[in-house]
Amino acid sequence: MGSRQGSMPAKAYLLLEQGDFRAMPASLPEAAGVKWVNVHPQTPTRGLPTIMAIIIYNDPQTGYPLAVMDATDITAYRTGATAAIASKYLARQDSHTLGIIGAGRQAYTQIQAHAQLFRLNLIKVYDRSREAAQKLIGFFPEYPLKECSLEETAACDIVCTLTPARVPFVKMEWIAAGTHINAVGADAAGKEELEPAILKEAMVVVDDLRQASVAGEINVPITNGIFAIDEVYGTLGEIIVGRKQGRKDRNVTTVFDSTGVAIEDLAVAKLIYEKAKKSSSYMLIDIIEVSQ
């Protein structure tokens, strides 16, 4: 999006009593497709992930469906990678502590991605479920993970909030000067993890302004008149391509409002499709008969 070479309408939401579905279309040069993804918070009790997804990947020249692929893992990994890239540009380069609030599926990819870019001396973990926190810690014996209180976990150089909260729980008083926050959990209208005072004092960057304003961390403060769209500094894409500068002040708090953008999913799908095609490691099905 930062290079303005793709096209991406805003997500379309289908709200249900038990959860919701999102349709996420996008196109890039030589690629087009749509991700169909759900968020059902209660499904882990049935042995299913909270978030599941598929991608339909099409030939943009003809519209022919080239592939249907699982996107549950794509969603998890691209979200973790995007937040880590945001940290690369917005966190202090000497950041050594990472706070993980919410020990679900997304916590795993956040840790994996951030560990590639930062030398982490301590990764603090908080979840209301001690079982979930301990499971996460046990999964990464190679990293310095420690279960901590919510307040202690918020006191890190980089903090990732990964919950479905609808009442803000991260308090302004816990956040030290210079902290970078990846606000990932708020991805639908009404969701909110951070006290609005944090946003008012921070340099706020979004992945997509249209989506963030109605479904990201800033959506509730905007609705309540506490925060304005013009207070957003810019998009992560603008910073990556150099149209705007990243962190300017060592002591400023920065927030990345991550709603998840389809263009990232499509870019990953394109890479997977091209690799699979080269290796012939895929199942071939004639979904639509081609006339000769």
Number of domains in the chain: 2
Say if residue 206 is in the same domain as residue 249: yes
Average pLDDT for residues 125-151, to the nearest whole number? Answer: 98
Domain assignment present for residue 6? The answer is no
Say if residue 31 is in the same domain as residue 125: no
- Helix 262-279 crosses helix 72-90 at what angle (to 10 degrees)? 120
Domain assignment present for residue 274? The answer is yes
Say if residue 29 is in the same domain as residue 90: no
Q: Domain with 26 in it: what CATH number?
A: 3.30.1780.10
Say if residue 59 is in the same domain as residue 87: no
Q: Would you tell me how many other CB atoms lie within 10 Å of the CB of residue 189?
A: 15
Let me know how long the chain is.
292
Structure tokens, 82: 């995007």
Say if residue 54 is in the same domain as residue 150: no
Residue-by-residue DSSP string for 132-200: HHHHHHHH-TTS-EEE--HHHHHSSSEEEE----SS--B-GGGPPTT-EEEE-S--STT---B-HHHHH
Structure tokens, 127: 């979840």
pLDDT digits (tens, 9 = 90+) for 172-204: 999 999 999 999 999 999 999 999 999 999 999
Say if residue 91 is in the same domain as residue 128: yes
Say if residue 24 is in the same domain as residue 99: no
Q: What is the CA radius of gyration of the chain?
A: 19
With cut-offs at 50, 70 and 90, classify the pLDDT of residue 19. Answer: very high
pLDDT of 1 > 70? The answer is no
Q: What percent of the chain clears pLDDT 90, i.e. is strictly above it?
A: 88
Say if residue 43 is in the same domain as residue 111: no
Say if residue 129 is in the same domain as residue 239: yes
Say if residue 33 is in the same domain as residue 85: no
Q: 230: exposed, middle or buried (C-beta count within 10 Å: 0-12, 13-18, 19+)?
A: exposed
Average pLDDT, whole number, for the chain?
94
Domain assignment present for residue 160? The answer is yes
Domain assignment present for residue 1? The answer is no
Domain assignment present for residue 181? The answer is yes
Domain assignment present for residue 290? The answer is no
pLDDT digits (tens, 9 = 90+) for 206-225: 999 999 999 999 999 999 99
User: What's the pTM value of the predicted model, to 2 decimals?
Assistant: 0.92
Domain assignment present for residue 7? The answer is no
Say if residue 140 is in the same domain as residue 237: yes
Cα 137 to chain center, whole Å?
21
Q: Which residues are catalytic?
A: 35
Q: Domain with 178 in it: what CATH number?
A: 3.40.50.720
Domain extent at residue 119: 81-260
Say if residue 170 is in the same domain as residue 256: yes
pLDDT digits (tens, 9 = 90+) for 224-242: 999 999 999 999 999 999 9
pLDDT of 44 > 90? The answer is no
pLDDT of 3 > 60? The answer is no
DSSP state of 264: H
Domain assignment present for residue 168? The answer is yes
